[in-house]
Structures are given as structure tokens and as C-alpha cells.
Amino acid sequence: MKVNRLYPVQVYLLGFFMICVFYGDILAEDLRAPGIQELYRLDRLPTFRESVKVASVSSYDRTGGNNDGFGGQYSFVRKENGGLVLADLEGPGVLYRFHTPTPTEDLLEFYFDGEQKPRIQVKYRDLFMGNHPAFPRPLVGFGGGGFYSYVPLPYEKSCKVFLKAERTQFYQINYAQYPQGMGIQSFAVEPTVEYQQYLERARKLFEAAGTDISTYVIPKDGQVESLVSTVNLEAGKAVSIFDTDRPGRIVGIRLRPADALIGKKRDVLLRAYWDGDSKPAIACPAGDFFGYAWGEPAMRSLLVGTIDDVNYCYFPMPFDQSGKVELFSESGRDRRVSIQAEVLFVPVARQKNEGKFYALWRRENPTTKGKPFTFIETNGRGHLVGLIQQSQGFESGNTYFFEGDDQTTLDGELTIHGTGTEDFYIGGWYDVAGRWESRRSFPLSGCLAYQKHLGRTGGYRFFIGDACAYRKSILQTIEHAPTGNDLLNDYCGVSFLYSQDRPTCDFSLPDAAGREVVDLKRIVFAAWWNIPIAAFSYRDATLTKGNEKIDGRDVQFLSLNGQGGDAFGHHFISFSCELPAAGIYKVSVEALKGPSQGQVQWFVDEAPVGPAVDFYAEKRRRTTEEIGTSELVEGVNSLLFKVVGKNDKSQGQAFDLVNIICEKMN
């Protein structure tokens, strides 16, 4: 189907008058010097950057260890009277991003162009809270354990960031240097009316994450053609959702229902081709392109994601002569579904200073010992604008690989070195309650999931002002262990970029079996740490967490200690245990035996599943006991354990639980 022929479905022009009324001021203005306008001029995302260097200052451990801010030894570039210099940048340039998971109440100061007095003085924490007029939400914000600011701070000659404190911990500051003559003026204490208008436009755009933002992607004088079609996905066949022989650009893609792409097989591919190239510019499992995690929708960012059962993408995709986008369903796919596709097309050809859009999917399963995971390595000119990562360990309960640092090498120079994977995705403290523990979406970053019992976590990050621009080459990697890349894992990544020429990296995908999500068969739920408790005894019982040294080792555990009987019978405790797949599971408990322990039995619908297990022993010791076998569902299962009695020698009816272990038998 060609755009320059009639579609067999609805084809119409969006009212250009309406666009001018609401967005005419955005479309008509020219992009000034790098800075605030970059935050909302999404139509300019394909434009090559004029920066001479893109880099960061961070608190990473210079010795190669994992002390990326814990001790504070590397959390400054130098000390001065009264505090710490966090960055001292030479201009002209722009400070694009400030992130920390550890803000304090200390004063943070920004000095421009060698001035002796700071132009900005704000409490470190308040920088991210929206309390300062120059840093409004949601251009600044917090969540997932991280605090961030995307308000660009341009500087003509220099910018010094100073914290009036004796000590600080984790931080990252991203910036770009530009050549002279770019017209960069330092951040103004009293902003102009024009700047305030730009700031408000950026704020409104960030507020609109998850909605239709295509109007921000339309180039000047562009008219949008909305092309809607319904296609049937059939095994072994490709279906086109966009095909044109006219120069232009895509400014939006929407697919519904999102359920059509759900599944762990990753067996529907999204492919795009520009200007007759026989090799795809986009080659990715369709769900992963839209931010699915392990087969389920998980992301709602500004530019790509899923909301209200609709997958969306608003990256501008310019081309010279022709463009084609298709969905391919693998031959082994076991269901036939219909998808309604809408592609927003603008007949404005790619400009000479614009790159073409590419999206690359890579998987390393397992990762390579001693070598970081590579998102992308390519030669040429371009800029990286986004990354999505899914990470899974091979051992239940272990996500220690997320301590690994990101590293960006631009034009042969390592210019960006991060402080931990969740920090890279603007989060922090991934295994601490109330931080990275649940799926969270922010305009440019977020957590796809954190399931410690499955060894899974992932994140996404998109770059607008802070895009990683390169003129010769880029290597984007991330470690898969705290140090030395010595943990083997299953890593998947999607890289989004603009490139002058076709990237030199390999875009080929593994076969269907090589893309499929692999679930762990043995799942360990740590009762001593963060397993959700659905309920426990209604009266005469206490629930505590303890720590004892047993056989020379520290053992942490959750202790249910009941007196007499409960309101409805035996004392009990019920856990919410999430499993990746349905099936028959053998359930065991790792617990402590001792002189005050009771007899424990697993119940389903008030019927015992297995025999009662006696945890009495004269001396405290650790034990693992099989407690029953039953059919469990995919998702959350309530596992209820009752203290049904006690040994005649026992002094109580306690249940000191370390781990619940579920092993899939089929």
C-alpha cells in the first residue's frame, strides 16, 4: 500500500488551521542557541548536534571498584573552602542534566563565567522539588529513588557547581561543549519573557507524557496525513502499515490493541526501511520497541510507550525518497490477531543536517565474562537518543548485576562513566523499599520492573538535550556486575539513534528461539527481606524480623510467634508469591529449627496440601523442608502456612522463616 495512492481505509488531513492556532508559535520560531528550546523542539531531534564534546562529571569509583558514592571519596572534582566543587565546566556549553539519589539540605550554588557570587543558590534537595522558579516540575522531579533536573543551564565561559558541605555521595552531571560563535549566553538570573515562554512550552510537553504529542514533532509548515489501516497478523507473513514513494517523515505511530503484542516469544517483529535500503533501519521485537518487559507492556514515556491499550511512538523519522514500516509474525506464532495501525506522515523530506532514525535490538544470553554488555557500537556521525534495557540473572533473588556502571565512548574517548545501572535510568537504591521496587514511568526515564525473586529488573532512558552526539564513532556499554563483569546474565537492549549513514553494526536478529523470554524454574522468595505479606494471625501473635549467628553464619529470618489460638483456629501467615508461569510447583521452606518452633502445614482453600512439618529441635539450626506440591497460576499466588501444633518438647509455636522456594515440575 502506498501513501501516494488511496488507502482502502480512511485517509485524511488533520486541520492545519487547528495546528496553527495551538502550535503556530512553536512551528514558526527558529531554534536559537542550544538550551531551553531543545527540550520541546522534538521536530529537531534528527538534527545533527554542533557540540564538540558530550561528557559527564560523576562520582564513579576511579579505582574500578564499586564505591561510586557510598564513601564520598570520588564525589567531587576538588575541595574549596566551605565545600565541594562538583563540576567546573569550560564554555561555551550547556549543563543538560543533573541527577542524584542522595540529595541533602545543604546549599547548592552555580557560578557562571568566573563570578564571585553564585547566580543560583538553592538547597540541594529543593533543586528537584519544583520549589525554585527556575526549576519547575516536571522538568525537575523525583521517583524510583532518583532526583533529576533537565532544565538546561547554558554558560558562555564557565560554570562551577559548588555544594556547601563536607561530604556528599552519588551524582551525575551531563553537559556538552560547543564551538565559539554559537550564540550561547549564560543563564540569566532574571529571565526574559521569551525564555519564560520557552520554559512553559517545555513544561507543558513534559506534562503531556503518555498523550498525543505529535504536534511537537511536526516540522515548520508541515501538514499531517493520518493513515489508518487494519491488518491481520498471520504466522509467517509480513504486513505493511506504511509504504510511500514520496519524500517525507513519520511523526507518529500508534498500534492498537496493545494486547496483540503481549507474549514471551517476542515473535512479532517491527521493521522499517528507508530509501530503498534492503536492510531494515528498525529491526526489533515489536513489543520491546514500545517498552514491553518480558512480554508485557511496561513503559509510558514521553516518546515511546503504551497507554490505554495503545502502543505509541513519536520519534520523527525523516527519509529522502521512500519509507516502509511493517509487522512480521513468525511462522510458529500460535494466534491470529488484528491490529489497527495509525501512521502520521508529513511530506517534508529529510534535510541535509538531519540523520535517519534507527532502532537496534541486541541480546546477550549469557553475557560475556569480563566484558560489558554492548548496546551499540558503530562508526559514522549521529547521536544516541534512547536506550531500553531488560536484565535477568540466572539465580533467583540476585539482582546484584544492577550495580554495573554505564560507559559511553564517543569518537574514541570515554567521556561518560556512570555510578550504577539504576542511576543511569535516573533511579536509585534498586533493592531498598520505596525506591526502585515497582514499575515507574517518567517523561524521559523509568523502571520497567523490579522482581528480585525472578532476578529481573530493567529501565529506560531517552535523551533530548543530553543526546550523545558523535562525529566518528560511538560505543555504549553497561556492566553486568559490580566489578569485573564477572556475573553471567541475560541482557536485552534496544538502542534508538539518528545516523547520517547506515550504522556499521549488525542489525540481524536471533531466531525466534533466541529471542524468547526464559523463565527461571526455581524461584526463591526472601521472607527476611521484601516478600509481600497478604495477612497473618488476627490476634495473640507477633511478627518480627530477626538476625542470629548459626553455625558461624549470620541468618536473617521472619518470625511468626503465636500464643494460644487465633480467632478462627490456628495461627497463620499468608504470602503473595508472584510466579512467571503456571504449572505444578514443589514448594519448600527454608527455616530455622529450634526449641520453641511449631509444626507448620501449607493450606489451599482450607485443605492441607502436604504433611505438617515439625520444626522443633534442641539446638537452633537451619533446614530446608519440602512442604507440598500443587498447581499454581501465572502471577500472584497466595501461599498460606498454618502453625497447626507443636512437638511435646517444644516451648512454643513459632515459625522462623528464611525463604520460600517454588520449583516448577512441568
Q: Whole-angstrom distance between the N-terminal and C-terminal Cα of the chain?
A: 46
> Which residues make beta-bridge pairs with 560?
543, 655
Residue 623's identity, in one-letter code, is T
Q: Which residues of 478-501 are buried (b: 16+ CB within 10 A; e: fewer)?
A: bbbbbeebebbbbbbbbbbbbbee
Contacts of 231 (CB under 8 A, 6+ apart): 239, 240, 241, 327, 338, 339, 341
How far is the C-alpha of 141 from the C-alpha of 70, rounded, in Å?
23
Q: Among all chains, which residue has been given the C-alpha cell 543538560?
A: 96
Q: Which helix (H) or strand (E) holds 392?
A: strand 382-393
10-residue mean pLDDT series, the chain (666 residues): 36 34 44 89 97 97 95 97 97 97 98 97 97 96 97 98 98 97 94 96 97 96 95 94 98 97 96 97 98 97 97 98 97 85 98 98 98 98 98 95 97 98 96 90 97 96 97 98 96 98 97 95 94 94 95 95 91 96 97 97 95 96 96 96 96 96 96
Residue 95 vs residues 54, 154, 203: alpha-carbon distances, Å: 10, 6, 18
The confidence score (pLDDT) of residue 203 equals 97
According to DSSP H, which parts of 445-557 are helical?
A: 512-515
Q: Confirm if 365 and 491 have CB atoms less than 8 A apart.
A: yes
The confidence score (pLDDT) of residue 618 equals 95
How far is the C-alpha of 30 from the C-alpha of 222, rounded, in Å?
14
**Which stretches of 336-486 are assigned E, i.e. beta strand?**
337-346, 356-364, 373-379, 382-393, 406-410, 413-417, 440-441, 445-451, 456-462, 468-470, 473-478
Q: Which three cell numbers stand for residue 648?
A: 511435646
Contacts of 547 (CB under 8 A, 6+ apart): 554, 555, 556, 557
How far is the C-alpha of 569 from the C-alpha of 564, rounded, in Å?
10
What is the fold, at CATH topology level, of the domain defined by 523-664? Answer: Jelly Rolls (2.60.120)
Q: DSSP string spanning 530-598?
A: TPPEEEE-SSSEEEEEEEEEETTEEEEEEEEEE-S-BTTBSEEEEEEEEESS-EEEEEEEEEEEBTTB-
The confidence score (pLDDT) of residue 441 equals 97
How far is the C-alpha of 356 from the C-alpha of 62, rounded, in Å?
37
Q: Which three cell numbers stand for residue 269?
A: 517483529
Strands 53-58 and 146-149: unpaired
Residue 333 vs residues 82, 214, 237, 263, 296: alpha-carbon distances, Å: 65, 33, 10, 10, 17
| DSSP-derived secondary structure letter, 509 | P
Q: Which helix (H) or strand (E) holds 198?
A: helix 193-207
Q: Among all chains, which residue has been given the C-alpha cell 497463620?
A: 572
Helix (H, G, I), strand (E, B) or coil at 465: coil
The confidence score (pLDDT) of residue 300 equals 97
* CATH 1.10.10.10 corresponds to the domain 28-207: no
One fold for 1-27+211-354 and 28-207: yes
The confidence score (pLDDT) of residue 30 equals 67
As to burial, measured by CB atoms within 10 angstroms (0-12 exposed, 13-18 middle, 19+ buried), residue 334 is exposed
The CATH number fitting domain 1-27+211-354, selected from 2.60.130.10, 1.10.4190.10, 2.40.50.840, 2.60.120.1390: 2.60.120.1390
The confidence score (pLDDT) of residue 29 equals 58
The domain spans of the chain are 1-27+211-354, 28-207, 523-664
The confidence score (pLDDT) of residue 332 equals 79
